[in-house]
Amino acid sequence: MKRSRIVEAVGLALFLALCLGIGALASAVTASSVKTWYADLNKPPFNPPSEVFGPVWTVLYVMMGVAAWRVWRAADRETAQGPLAMFALQLALDLGWSVAFFGLERTGSAVAVILVLELAVISTVLAFRPIDRLAALLMVPYALWVAFAAALNIAIWRLN
């Protein structure tokens, strides 16, 4: 669907703000536990240093925002509605995982959330692909990171 450059730029800004806003909320939930509860957990040897998470998540949220924007830009409202609803669901699950793991300190519940999140991300990739192949590809690193985070979450749950 053809939109003016200004509308497209505003759309991109809104999608980026949405994704980075979810990231900021997740970070706020996480910050209260990283140096206390999380620091005291037994972690597997493949646990990255805490400093890695912020930059990785920021890049992923930007890529996700661009991906959603590309779908919004490429498709008419009816075609984009389902894939963007799936995108919104996986964003909500992303935040839900941070709440379960860091906010509530429930590693087992967080495993359930992150496994559903991974399915939602894969579903989003598959929903984006027919509309914009690059949008789908932009979501793949997020799917891989969530899979890694799931393995990490499971290991932490089992070790504690």
- Which pLDDT tens digit goes with each residue over 96-136? 999 999 999 999 999 999 999 999 999 999 999 999 999 99
Nearest to 114 by CA among 160, 145, 84, 135: 145
- Overall domain count for the chain: 1
pLDDT reported for residue 58: 96
Give the C-alpha separation, 155 to 96, whole Å: 19
pLDDT reported for residue 1: 62
pLDDT reported for residue 77: 92
CATH of the domain at 149: 1.20.1260.100
**Domain residue limits at 77:** 5-159
Q: At what angle do helices 107-128 and 50-74 cross, to 10 degrees?
A: 30
Collect all residues with Cβ–Cβ distance below 8 Å to 30 and sequence separation of at least 6: 98, 102
Give the C-alpha separation, 72 to 88, whole Å: 13
pLDDT reported for residue 2: 72
Low-confidence ranges of the chain (pLDDT < 50): none
pLDDT reported for residue 34: 87
